[in-house]
A and B are shown apart, each in its own frame.
Chain A
Amino acid sequence: MKILNIIKTLTLIDLLKGLKVTLKNFFKPKITVQYPEVKTPISNRFRGKLALMKYENGEERCIACKLCSAVCPANAISIDSEESEDGTRRTTRFDIDAFKCVYCGFCEEACPVDAIVETDIFEYHMTENHQRLQTKEMLLQLGDDYREKIVRKKEKDHHYK
């Protein structure tokens, strides 16, 4: 037994066995990407940063029913509302605390008018504590900026809902 071990050690058989795996993988096609230059594809159902949508004529969708804040398991959404000048029910404050949000997507499901949506944005940062609050203006802006992308994403997934 001892002799066999000595031969094994001297001929480096174990090492070559290991290198064989390396060599095999060396020529295999790669699945890692060079993030951030290259990005992995994202599912249509990916749940990222929240945004508020408008109708095509520019009118806000949100009707301040507060179902999203009611369903939110993390209490991340705070809303104030009142009767607007044209007599409709509108929000005066719509804050999402990004630190609290757990991206569960319940708000999107609860929304009766598809106002609050989850985008596929997951890369964002902030340097000050107060920046974690995303105000109504920021959320609407986000919805405007990524409108086409969001619409495309929702259209693709819509058959499965």
Chain B
Amino acid sequence: MSEPKITITIDDQEYKVNSGQMLIEATDQLGIHIPRFCYHEKLSIAANCRMCLVEVENSTNALPACATEVSEGMVVKTTSESAELAQQATMEFLLINHPLDCPICDQGGECELQDLAYSHGRNESRFEVKKRTLPDDNLGPLISTDMTRCILCTRCVRFGTEIAGLPELGTIGRGESSTISTFVEKTVDHELSGNMIDICPVGALNNKPYRYTDRTWELDQIESVSPHDCVGSNMFLHVKGDKIKRIVPKANPEINEVWISDRDRFAFDGIYSDDRLTVPMLRKNGVLEEATWEEAIDAFSKVLITLQNKKSKNGVAALISSSTALNEQYLYAYLMRSLGFNNIDHRIRQIDFTGDSLDPIFPNFDIKPHQIENMKSILIIGSDLRKETPLIAHWVKKAADQGASVNFINQEYSEYYFPIDNFILSGQEALAENLALVLKASNDDAVNKLPSHIEDVLNALPTPSLSHYQIAKSLANHEQSFLLSGLLCHSHSEYALIRSYLNLLSYVSNSSFGELTHGANATGAYLTGCIPHRKAFGESHELGLNALEMCTKNHQLIVLYGIEPEDCLYQEKLNQSIVGSQTTVQFSPFITPFMKENADIMFPLKTPYESKGAFINASGMIQDFNLQLDLAKDNPSNQELLLQIIEGSKLPMPSLDNLKEKIKKFIDETKNTHNRLLEIPEKVLKTTKNYSSVSSHLYDVDSITRRSRPLQQTKDALSQFSEDQ
């Protein structure tokens, strides 16, 4: 979109800028700095701080740059005497009530007010009357408040209304007595609310767990990627010595804009939990004791070699977490496959495996997260979107705010803060049928018709209702349409059938299709061969047992990599299998009482926060994380550990060179050749249905989140706890 260029003069220099934008946007693009507090590029314009006042020729007063549109021939002076005078006056007014507590303020050193007070503030105050003080609100376990520091820029209020969609904070009172507060005393609970900490230009809203611990200049900044969901939000770890102190977002316009979810921000606390495993453990004479790395690796290799010689291929069950780094997954799959063990899987939250043979090379997600914003019609199936992937929910909200028609077919109702056209609430058992009805409605007047034998299947269904027709029509009418299947779908007992319907619907309505996956690197797990039916790079292979089958049997050896039984959807079954199996080996950052009782060998793992690696997000974007970091230095890295085990098992060493590049190339080659199977296999149609209720818990997604103290004190986590009771 090229808008007409106009010429404006800023500080005696002529520039060509796009029309229709505000002066401050133009100067930001040109790299000219104008001081500001209330203006934020992602929020609406409020123009209430008056810090960005500049002199504009032919205007009697100084004008706020954030609310003045550029116009042809405009002459602007940002540093003239009258502009500076205006800015200094504004600064003096802002500082009237601002306390002089920079030494104890956590914002000190990264504070916009502090910076501008240096450049625009007076040396001493002329204000002699008592300063205004305000009581602090308790906004919950994540955000601390020091309301006296507030300069009423209302960024947090606008964030609540515009980005989160839930106005949790507001301005109360007028004039001198106006304050930012919750309307009635309550906590701030939105899953993106932590971002208010970053947008607050002063120290009024701050990071509660981080409160009073460190100063900004002591911290090193390390680029990282969130290990908790399939979005792959970019973030910075702020590290002092060998300890992570806090996490802040890293802007990535294609994935997470400038936001991250509270889960990404506060979950890291879990890695400092008391039950961290630091040394390998080995069962000797029935007692699990600490052992040296060599002993433990020897013991494990021996077990592996013995089982290999016995040729008991089916005696080994190997499970791996989908939140592990790419190299680890590759080595783990290599270890198991090379020894001849085919039972390897990462899908511990999936029940229905009948569609395995139809699996795409890796889960489909045709578009990048930010492209959701441009969609005109979105259908979301089986997803508690806000809790599963808060940032995908954010992009959907952006689309909805721009007028997209958003429709849901869901097992349970949860609140969304954007307009929803149709919400079909269906029980577990009717989810697939409701989707089929949309498909039937779409097929009625579609250009791409379905094959007749599938039409026969659909004809057996009842007549679609009005909402089904509305959804079908909305998908068909818009070129930019998108189908999104959520994690509840993934854990549904008719997952394969639902996916077949989605493929068909995507063909009929010519929509893009996206599938949310569990963990941060499920795509990587598919590509590295951590699935029973494929080797690395999607090569087909002799079929092994899938996760559910593994958990329902006893084995000679069961290996859990990065997994705790609590992560598994069928935890009871897995527990029984662990108890019943001869040898249990767990690779884990933590040790639980259950595993202490039942594991025979335990290897401490480094968490994704402490080691380097790469994740592939749902859209197939490979992202390195923590390249400059190596915490918990005493222990070998996860990759070294696996290599040592491979060596101990007398296997040829695999080459990890260029693995990432190879996978990247492979993704690029296969991404657009996903063949949408226009078929519903008999096997899938005749699944025996055994519905069990599954729900997504925001703060129970993995072992780290479960141990994060701040997150477990949030309303979301507490309400889940009372639900479980």
Contacts and interface: CB of A to CB of B under 8 A. Distances in A.
Interface residues of A, number: 15
A66 B215 contact: yes
B211 A65 contact: no
A65 B103 contact: yes
A137 interface: no
A89 interface: yes
B212 interface: yes
A112 to B, nearest CB: 5
Interface string B203-218: 0000000011111011
B212 A64 contact: yes
Contacts of A81: 212-214
B170 to A, nearest CB: 26
B173 to A, nearest CB: 25
B101 to A, nearest CB: 9
Contacts of A64: 104, 212
Contacts of B215: 65-66, 70
A113 B100 CA distance: 12
A112 B213 contact: no
B108 interface: yes
B211 A83 contact: yes
A67 interface: yes
A108 to B, nearest CB: 15
A66 B105 CA distance: 11
A113 B103 CA distance: 9
A157 interface: no
B212 A82 contact: yes
Contact of B213 (A63, A82, A113): A82
Interface in B23-82: none
A88 B103 CA distance: 12
Interface in B93-137: 103-104, 108
A100 to B, nearest CB: 17
Interface string A52-95: 00000000000111110010000000001111000011100000
A114 to B, nearest CB: 12
Among A81, A88, A113, find the residue whose CB has the most chain B CB atoms closer than 10 A: A81
Nearest to A70: B217
Interface in A28-72: 63-67, 70
B108 A65 contact: yes
A116 B430 CA distance: 71
Interface residues of B, number: 10
A83 B108 contact: no
Contacts of B212: 64, 81-83, 89-90
A72 to B, nearest CB: 12
Interface string B191-226: 000000000000000000001111101100000000
A83 B206 CA distance: 13
Contacts of A88: 104
Nearest to B217: A70
Contacts of A82: 212-213
Contacts of A63: 103-104
Contacts of A113: 103
Contacts of A83: 211-212
A65 B218 CA distance: 12
A112 B103 contact: yes
Contacts of B211: 83
Nearest to A63: B104
Interface in A97-139: 112-113
B218 A89 contact: no
Contacts of B218: 66
A103 to B, nearest CB: 23
B594 to A, nearest CB: 33
A52 to B, nearest CB: 15
B140 to A, nearest CB: 16
A80 B243 CA distance: 12
Contacts of B213: 80-82
Contacts of B217: 70
Nearest to A80: B213
A128 B683 CA distance: 77
Contacts of B108: 65
A67 B218 CA distance: 11
A82 B209 CA distance: 10
A112 B108 CA distance: 14
A81 B106 CA distance: 12
Interface in B684-704: none
A75 to B, nearest CB: 11
Contacts of B214: 66, 81
A90 B217 CA distance: 18
A113 to B, nearest CB: 8
Contacts of B104: 63-65, 88-89
Contact of B103 (A67, A80, A90): A67
Nearest to A90: B212
Nearest to B104: A89
B447 to A, nearest CB: 64
6 contacts: A63-B104, A64-B212, A70-B215, A81-B212, A82-B213, A89-B212
Given A65-B108, A65-B215, A70-B217, 8 more contacts: A63-B104, A67-B103, A81-B212, A81-B213, A83-B211, A83-B212, A88-B104, A113-B103
Interface of A: 63-67, 70, 80-83, 88-90, 112-113
Q: Which 8 A-B pairs have the closest CB atoms?
A: A65-B103, A89-B212, A89-B104, A83-B212, A112-B103, A66-B215, A63-B104, A83-B211
